[in-house]
Chains A and B, each alone.
Chain A
Amino acid sequence: MKSLCVAVLLLAVSGLVMSAEEDSSSQAKLLVSKQILNKYLVEDMDIVLKYSLYNVGSSAAVNVALKDSSFPADSFSVVGGSLELNVDRIPPGANVSHVVVVRPRKPGYFNFSSAEVNYLPSDEAKQPQFAVSSEPGEGGIIAFRDFDKKFSPHVLDWAAFAVMTLPCLAIPFLLWWSSKSKYEALVKGGKKDKSNKD
Chain B
Amino acid sequence: MRGVTEGDEDTGPKASPDAETTILFVNPVTQPGSPLDLPAGRIAEFLVGFSNKGKQDMTLELIDASFRYAMDYNFYMQNFSTIAYQQVVKPSHESTIMYSFIPAETFAGRPFGFTVNLHYKDAAGVIYRQAVFNETVNVIEIEEGLDGETFFLYVFLAACVVLLLVAGQQFLYSVGRGSRGGRSAGRKNPAVETGTNNPNDVDYDWLPRETLNSIKKSPKSPKMSPRSQKQSPRTRKVKRSQGDD
Contact = CB atoms under 8 A, between A and B. Distances in A.
Interface in B73-104: 85, 87, 89-90, 92-98
A133 B95 CA distance: 6
B228 interface: no
A187 B93 contact: no
A35 B98 contact: yes
Given A31-B22, A56-B22, A134 B208 contact: no
B211 interface: yes
A131 B87 contact: no
Categorize the interface residue count of chain B.
20 to 34
A130 B210 contact: no
B70 interface: no
A114 B90 CA distance: 14
Contacts, number: 60
Nearest to B22: A56
B210 A187 contact: yes
A132 B58 CA distance: 13
B65 to A, nearest CB: 15
A33 interface: yes
B47 interface: yes
A148 to B, nearest CB: 29
Contact of B85 (A130, A133, A135): A135
A63 interface: no
Contacts of A135: 85, 87, 97
Nearest to A131: B94
A114 B87 contact: yes
B51 A132 contact: no
A182 interface: no
Given A134-B47, A135-B85, A29 B94 contact: yes
A42 interface: no
Given A31-B49, A194-B214, A132 B94 contact: yes
B161 interface: no
A191 B47 CA distance: 88
B98 A33 contact: yes
Interface of B: 22, 24, 26, 47, 49, 51, 85, 87, 89-90, 92-98, 208, 210-211, 213-214
Given A130-B90, A187-B211, A194-B214, 20 more contacts: A30-B49, A32-B96, A33-B98, A35-B98, A54-B26, A54-B47, A56-B49, A129-B94, A130-B92, A131-B93, A131-B94, A131-B95, A131-B96, A132-B89, A132-B93, A132-B94, A134-B47, A134-B97, A134-B98, A190-B210
27 contacts: A29-B49, A29-B51, A29-B94, A30-B49, A31-B22, A32-B96, A33-B26, A33-B47, A33-B98, A54-B26, A56-B22, A56-B24, A56-B49, A114-B87, A114-B95, A129-B92, A130-B90, A130-B93, A132-B95, A132-B96, A133-B96, A135-B97, A187-B208, A187-B210, A190-B211, A190-B214, A191-B210
